[in-house]
Amino acid sequence: MSFIFNFADISVRIILPILAVIIVYEGYVSIRHRRREKRPLIMLADVDSNNIYPVYYWENSIGRRKSSDIQIKDMTVSREHAVLFRREKAWFISDTGSKSGVYLNGKLVRGSVPVYVNAVLSIGSKNLMLKRVSDCINDISSDSSAEKNKKAVHPFLLMLTVSLFLLFLTIDASLSDNINKKDIFIIFGIFVGISWLFYIISTFVFKRATFELESIALMLTGVGIIIIAGTNTRQAYVQLIAGSIGIICYCCLIKFMEKTDVVAKYRFSISILAILLLAINLIFGDVKNGAQNWIEIGSISVQPSEFVKIAFIFVGTSTLNQLQKSKNLTGFILFSLICIGALCLMGDFGTACIFYVTFLLISFMRSGSITAFILGIAAAVIGVIVILNFKPYIATRFEAWGHVWEYAQTSGYQQANVLTYSASGGLFGVGIGNGELRYIFAATSDLAFGVMCEELGVVLAIIIVCAIAGLALYTRGSILRSRSTFYSISACTAAGLLLFQAALNIFGATDILPLTGVTLPFISQGGSSIISVWGLLSFMKASDERTYGVKRK
């Protein structure tokens, strides 16, 4: 009997990684699918010569610079002359501080002015006429064979696979003696119900054509909830509710970001709100585990710094025309200093570190300066040395770095436990709820990766982590065709932030990096964290042009 039982147990745990691989693979294949082929949106024809400039992007820089989207090799054209961009209603032109100005049908352009077909733009000595693509090239399709579209799985099937995966995970959990079978299936039922409701709303109300990003995020969130349910049913419900709030935030944020001009209007208010949140945190915050990053509201405790992450990205990014006009980063640097300073005062160095990396990412995405990026990292190293002088307890963490076994009972306690139990799980794990690591302090949040290794097995844990890292690859893929640099930069930053946070969590807990105390995106227990992660995911979704562009028929 016990042999048959074991067999069921083991086979479930072998099916799980297979399903996970299918989901991750199919998910990312679909992401590449149904993209617009690389062909021009519109053309700019030189009136004086026969030169034609194809316009590929929603936002195009025009200038002499080689890296301009539309490069005009003419000394009368400024290096970064203007930006031609498309909005819902029409194409617009915006002068971005050129020497000679931009003229539309002979009139000097101030601010953003709509450009209609057959209008003539005078840039330097060049006169360019906006033309439909079909007027210039007869056979459009001849140019578009480059992109191969691999047949993608239907979003419905992908969601079905995700549900199946979570079902098997729940069955695995229910086999453990430590887990209440009824509770775990109720939690599974509610979560899958919410997931499908989300799918239906996204598909039939918002009429979105794609659901891969959401499917993968739902899978990850589900894994987190089921792991938490293994220790604490109540916490699993909290995570479930927070996850739902996160999904709602996600939908709202995507709606909010649909019009980049609206975002620009709110940017200042968002930055003030973020600073206020941090100030409230500093004044009224509670100290938990050495960091004052909690606010208690009734029986709910909130971590405001999690929400500030979203605000941080909003404040840091911008559309191309605004970017080219004002290269000044002072405001953003000031805002970043306030945020990071506040986090350091709270003693939340893990989050401060994430913010700093996010800051570097944004400044690099905006300026493209490698020097600044390297200087930034150098400054960080100096900063760490300074911090170590003021907060010696962090230094004790460094002493254990690389020597966790010597400090296994003191400063390396968590890491040593993660390593020993990760090794105890084997390739396929001991099953959800059967692990020992989950009884260590903060296991399902800070040590979530270790818990996954032990209970789900190293194979599945790594696949799940790859799914998180895959979000970055997804973002990289969608950035090119984003409708605005706002989307590109924000998505790139959000993905970088999540990736860095995942790296801190995983490599900190496994003694590869010397820092613990941040959550693993989607998986870790933490209501504020899961809401924030879904919020960050909305940047990635918004950067995909299909989100707003392609509608379901």
Which residue, 192 or 213, is less far from other proteins as judged by CB? 213
| Residue in 365, 432, 520, 523 binding other proteins, rule: CB under 8 A | 365
β-strand pairing of 91-95 with 102-104: unpaired
Instruction: Annotate 180-205 with DSSP letters as a single string.
Output: -HHHHHHHHHHHHHHHHHHHHIIIII
460: left (phi over 0), alpha (psi -120 to 50) or beta: alpha
* Choices 41-49, 116-124, 297-305, 363-371; region in contact with other proteins by CB under 8 A: 363-371
> 59 to 118, contacts with other proteins by CB under 8 A?
59-61, 67-69
Please report whether residue 522 would count as binding other proteins according to CB under 8 A.
Answer: no
Amino acid at 207: K
Is the Cβ–Cβ distance between 109 and 101 less than 8 Å?
yes
Least distance from other proteins to the Cβ atom of residue 236, Å:
23
Which of 25, 28, 29, 37 lies closest to 550 in space, CA to CA? 37
Which residue, 307 or 364, is less far from other proteins as judged by CB? 364
Is the Cβ–Cβ distance between 51 and 45 less than 8 Å?
yes
Least distance from other proteins to the Cβ atom of residue 61, Å:
7
Please report whether residue 303 would count as binding other proteins according to CB under 8 A.
Answer: no
**Site residue total, other proteins (CB under 8 A):** 71
Which residue, 200 or 423, is less far from other proteins as judged by CB? 423
Please report whether residue 492 would count as binding other proteins according to CB under 8 A.
Answer: yes
Cα→Cα distances 108→32, 102, 105, 392, 454, Å: 42, 6, 9, 61, 67
Least distance from other proteins to the Cβ atom of residue 232, Å:
19
Say how many Å lie between the first and final Cα of the chain, rounded: 53
Least distance from other proteins to the Cβ atom of residue 176, Å:
10
Is the Cβ–Cβ distance between 533 and 246 less than 8 Å?
yes
> 388 to 417, contacts with other proteins by CB under 8 A?
405, 408-409, 416-417
Least distance from other proteins to the Cβ atom of residue 192, Å:
26
> 177 to 216, contacts with other proteins by CB under 8 A?
none
| Residue in 364, 534, 539, 548 binding other proteins, rule: CB under 8 A | 364
> 437 to 476, contacts with other proteins by CB under 8 A?
453-454, 457-458, 462, 465-466, 469, 472-473, 475-476
Q: Which residues contact 248 (CB under 8 A, 6 or more apart)?
A: none
Residue that the structure tokens 């401060």 belong to: 352
Which residue, 130 or 468, is less far from other proteins as judged by CB? 468
State the Cα–Cα distance between residues 93 and 102, nearest whole angstrom.
9
> 22 to 61, contacts with other proteins by CB under 8 A?
56-61
Is the Cβ–Cβ distance between 316 and 488 less than 8 Å?
no
Which residue, 388 or 473, is less far from other proteins as judged by CB? 473
Partners of 82 in beta bridges: 62, 95
Which residue, 285 or 457, is less far from other proteins as judged by CB? 457
